[in-house]
Each structure stands twice: as structure tokens, then as C-alpha cells.
């Protein structure tokens, strides 16, 4: 299954300790890890679920660490043309943190910062299509934008990527890439759910069969609990965690269906 243009197509971890991160995530989600050489001094870890690519991980570079970039997960959105998408982001107030660049034998990507400060990547597939599993237990199933200015952010992504929104009574905006509920890919929170001073950011959600049990296991493996597993009415059970290196992610267990 390849992601459609405008939908999330890859999930990537930048970390200070790839070895420890591999141990944590393979233990937590049953992923397998394979290191691949990306040049003289760089390895890229492919994370798989049942033999299918679900995410990647790499060691933060010295210049990132010197710039105080913390361990983090980042999302990629599939586009037809990375150069055109990056240029269009500038037109609507975004910034290019990394200009369009080729990843040999993979594709072309760019890193964009939205006008409220959240970072996101665009990806033009080459030989690698992105993840081949989405929504299954153990895979990315959703993403939320926590923004200091949700309205400004929503307008930017609509203008830039063509996303539409369905807003609930609580102000939560469901992001729709196309039309219909089957094309809902994420949401924009009506207000920041994070400690004061936290910059705008995207939060990936991993589908789990038992949120409370998985959150407890994560804590045993050294994760920090940012939000304990909690049942959200009409949504499901959600927990927010920081891995042992500090990268933040969420767990999601859908509501049981009768």
C-alpha cells in the first residue's frame, strides 16, 4: 500500500543513541531493525513490521546537536514534486529548513517549517515508495499538529497541500486529504497540549492493541510518561510518551466495536 499524494508516507526518528532506540522500539512494538550504509560515516536504520517498512531512524548529526535539536520523530508527506512543493511552502509563509535534496536510490525530499514553527518533510518517491503499512497495529495510524496558532496553521496546510478540515464542537480540526472520512489522516488540536514554551510540533500516533499495557511496558523500558493512558470519549484510548532519549510519540487504541 503506497500513500496517496498529500498523505503521510514516512515516519523518521532522529536520535542521540540509535542502538538504545532500536532496542526500545523493537521491544515495544515488535519491529525489526536493519542498518543500512548511507555514506562513509552515516547509517540509516530501517524499522520493519512483519517484514514491511514502517519507519526509519538515524543518529542526529553533530551540527544538529550543536544547534540543540532534540531527539524527535518527523513525518513525511508524499508529493509529486519535492522542489515545487518546497517552493510553494515559501509562497504561503513556510520556511525551508533543508532545501530539496536527493537521497540516492530512495527519492527526493525537503524539510519545511510551517509559519507557526512545526517541522514536516515532503517526499517525492524514487525507488522507495515510503512505508508500505499504515494503520495496522504497530504502525503509524494518525498524526496531530500541536500549534501555537491552530487557525494560521490550518490555513497554511490548506493553501499548501490542499488539505480540508472538518471541525468538531470542541474545535478539533480533522484533516482530510481529498474527500470523505476514509481520507482523514490527522488533526489539528484547538490548543497546545504541551508544557509552556513547547514549540509547535507534529505528534505521530502508533496503533496498539492495548494502550495501557503498551504504555506500562514503555515505562518499564525507560520511557517517560507525558500523558497516562486515558479513554477519550468517542475516540479511543491515548497515551503520550517520550522515549529514553526524549523523542515524543503517542499510542492509540481504537474504541471497541460492538
* One pLDDT digit (tens) per residue for the chain, 258 residues: 678 999 999 999 999 999 999 999 999 999 999 998 876 778 899 999 999 999 999 999 888 888 888 999 999 999 999 999 999 999 999 999 999 999 888 899 999 999 999 999 999 999 889 998 999 999 999 999 999 999 999 999 999 999 999 998 889 999 999 887 789 999 999 998 778 888 999 999 999 999 999 999 999 999 999 999 999 988 999 999 999 999 999 999 998 765
At 10 the three-state DSSP class reads strand
The pLDDT score that the predictor gives to residue 1 is 64
The pLDDT score that the predictor gives to residue 233 is 87
Asked if 205 and 144 touch (Cβ cutoff 8 Å), the reply is yes
At 67 the three-state DSSP class reads coil
Distance separating alpha carbons of residues 126 and 23, to the nearest angstrom: 30
For residue 127, CA distances in Å to 13, 102, 138, 158 come to: 21, 11, 24, 28
The pLDDT score that the predictor gives to residue 156 is 98
At 148 the three-state DSSP class reads coil
pTM: 0.95
DSSP 158: H
Distance separating alpha carbons of residues 78 and 129, to the nearest angstrom: 9
The pLDDT score that the predictor gives to residue 257 is 66
The pLDDT score that the predictor gives to residue 42 is 80
Class of domain 1-258: alpha beta
Beta strands in the chain (DSSP E): 8-15, 32-37, 43-49, 52-59, 72-78, 95-103, 107-113, 119-125, 140-146, 164-167, 173-176, 184-188, 201-207, 224-232, 236-242, 248-254
Amino acid at each position: 500500500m503506497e500513500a496517496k499524494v498529500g498523505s503521510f508516507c514516512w515516519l523518521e526518528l532522529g536520535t542521540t543513541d540509535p542502538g538504545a532506540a532500536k532496542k526500545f522500539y523493537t521491544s515495544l512494538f515488535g519491529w525489526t531493525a536493519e542498518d543500512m550504509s548511507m555514506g562513509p560515516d552515516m547509517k540509516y536504520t530501517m524499522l520493519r513490521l512483519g517484514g514491511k517498512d514502517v519507519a526509519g531512524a538515524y543518529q542526529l548529526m553533530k551540527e544538529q546537536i550543536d544547534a540543540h535539536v532534540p531527539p524527535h520523530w518527523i513525518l513525511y508527506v508524499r508529493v509529486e514534486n519535492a522542489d515545487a512543493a518546497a517552493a510553494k511552502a515559501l509562497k504561503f509563509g513556510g520556511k525551508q529548513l533543508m532545501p530539496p535534496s536527493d537521497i540516492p536510490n530512495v527519492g527526493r525530499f525537503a524539510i519545511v517549517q510551517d509559519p507557526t514553527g512545526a517541522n514536516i518533510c515532503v517526499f517525492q518517491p524514487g525507488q522507495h515508495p515510503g512505508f508500505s503499512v499504515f494503520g495496522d497495529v504497530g504502525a503509524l495510524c494518525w498524526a496531530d499538529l500541536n500549534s501555537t496558532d491552530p487557525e494560521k496553521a490550518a490555513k497554511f496546510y490548506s493553501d499548501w497541500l490542499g488539505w480540508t478540515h472538518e471541525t468538531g464542537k470542541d474545535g478539533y480540526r480533522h484533516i482530510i486529504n481529498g474527500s470523505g472520512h476514509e481520507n482523514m489522516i490527522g488533526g489539528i488540536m484547538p490548543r497546545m497540549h504541551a508544557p509552556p514554551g513547547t514549540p509547535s510540533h507534529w505528534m505521530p500516533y502508533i496503533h496498539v492493541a492495548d494502550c495501557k499495557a503498551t504504555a506500562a511496558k514503555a515505562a518499564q523500558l525507560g520511557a517517560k510518561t507525558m500523558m497516562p493512558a486515558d479513554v477519550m470519549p468517542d475516540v479511543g484510548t491515548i497515551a503520550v510518551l517520550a522515549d529514553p532519549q526524549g523523542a515524543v510519540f503517542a499510542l492509540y487504541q481504537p474504541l471497541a466495536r460492538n
